[in-house]
A and B are shown apart, each in its own frame.
Chain A
Amino acid sequence: MDWTQRRVEDGLVKPLAQSEDSRFSRMRPPPRERRVRVLQSTLSRDKNGRAFVGFAIDVRFGSEWRRDDIVGCVYRESGDIFVKKGDAYRPAAFLLGKNVEPVAGVCQAAAARS
């Protein structure tokens, strides 16, 4: 699962850190630190049979860590990252400012076939 961690760090955590600065704004200030947690040790498959792994990103503002600040999944073959916003999953580019719509069915494991 090292691959998942590296992919999320390179594809989301680093770009997020680069795009953030302390602005004179009501938005939440950038966290001091982020850490990626891979949520599963085996691959899940969505209803289209594509393999993905769930992850969570924790943040630290003061001394305490806040868990699950970002939750999402990364697809093994394409490397696509999706993040959860509300009840839906959107491409991770959403958090970097791109106006992208939610994608149905991603990051949701298909029911096991009997």
Chain B
Amino acid sequence: MPRFLADLPRRFFLVVMLAGSALITVTSLAYFDFETLPPFVIEKLPVRFESLWLASLRVHVAAASLVFPLCLLLMTRGIQRRPAWHRWIGRLTGFFVLFALVPSGIVLAFDAKGGKVVSAGFLLSAAIVAGCMVHGIWAARRRDFVSHRRAMRHVVGQMSVAVTSRALMLALDAGGVDPDVAYVVALWGPVLFSAAIAELVSLRSVFATPDPIRSVERIYRENSLLAVLVRARSFVRPVARLGR
């Protein structure tokens, strides 16, 4: 298959997500008009800690408007071919994700409409983003780019929930589904689906490797918790050599 066609799903994903991110940013500008209350805030109030909740909402929206497009940029081949750019944009993105997006998202999760089921969904998504971001940064520093790519696919996957969840809510509303049910489905569906897709894409890229020894090594590195501490190569290569 020509490389352009093979790359088409990835490009389509990046373009759709970039458009979705821009649309969310535009509709979120109302959160920074301090004179009026946007509909989402009216719907939520009153909350237990109103000032903290409102500040977290604004930090979350601002951080997401910045880091989601940056994550998409980091996924492009153009930036990946420029390691210095990739490193610095990655550091900036990682900083805002870990110190603005995730903490503010956790605060918002506890007051999410839909109760504990929805809170759990948002907290799971936050845990995946934070955990994979830390793991991905660590992997990049060890120059383990296979693990780095896998971790960052999960980060981008969970960020894409912002777009897919809203699109699904619109679709379910058009289908006449009760908005409370739609809200739960439109959160948990994309969270789990994105995690599954990130794993599948990572596995596919492992099996696409022509060298079987390297494939096994990659699987070890990607799936074993021990791989964080011990490089899989030191296990796989000696065993492979025994058979010669």
Please provide the chain A residues from 9 to 35 with a CB less than 8 Å away from any CB of chain B in the complex: 19-20, 22-29
Interface residues on B, range: 20 to 34
In the assembled complex, the Cα of A51 lies from the Cα of B160 at a distance in Å of: 52
Please provide the chain A residues from 75 to 100 with a CB less than 8 Å away from any CB of chain B in the complex: 85-86, 88, 94-95, 97-99
CB of B189, distance to nearest CB on chain A (Å): 14
Give the number of residue pairs across the A-B interface with Cβ within 8 Å.
63
Contact A98 B37 (CB under 8 A): yes
CB of A71, distance to nearest CB on chain B (Å): 15
CB of A98, distance to nearest CB on chain B (Å): 7
B172, closest chain A residue (CB) = A29
CB of A62, distance to nearest CB on chain B (Å): 4
CB of B182, distance to nearest CB on chain A (Å): 8
CB of A88, distance to nearest CB on chain B (Å): 8
Asked if A3 CB lies within 8 Å of chain B CBs, one says: no
Asked if A114 CB lies within 8 Å of chain B CBs, one says: no
Contact B43 A61 (CB under 8 A): no
Contact B170 A20 (CB under 8 A): no
Contact B45 A61 (CB under 8 A): no
Known contacts A20-B39, A97-B38, A97-B42, A25 near B166 by CB under 8 Å: yes
**A interface: dominant SS:** loop
In the assembled complex, the Cα of A73 lies from the Cα of B240 at a distance in Å of: 79
Fill in one digit per residue for B132-171: 1 if any A CB lies within 8 Å of its CB, else 0.
0000000000000000000000000000000001110110
* A residues in contact with B42, CB < 8 Å: 94-95, 97
Asked if B7 CB lies within 8 Å of chain A CBs, one says: no
B177, closest chain A residue (CB) = A62
* B residues in contact with A25, CB < 8 Å: 24, 27-28, 39-40, 166
CB of B216, distance to nearest CB on chain A (Å): 43
Asked if A63 CB lies within 8 Å of chain B CBs, one says: yes
* A residues in contact with B165, CB < 8 Å: 26
* B residues in contact with A61, CB < 8 Å: 173, 176, 178-179
Asked if B211 CB lies within 8 Å of chain A CBs, one says: no
In the assembled complex, the Cα of A61 lies from the Cα of B166 at a distance in Å of: 17
Closest 6 A-B residue pairs measured CB to CB?
A86-B46, A62-B176, A27-B40, A29-B173, A97-B36, A24-B23
Q: Which B residues lie at the A interface, using CB under 8 A?
A: 20, 23-24, 27-28, 35-40, 42-43, 45-46, 113, 165-167, 169-170, 173, 176-179, 183
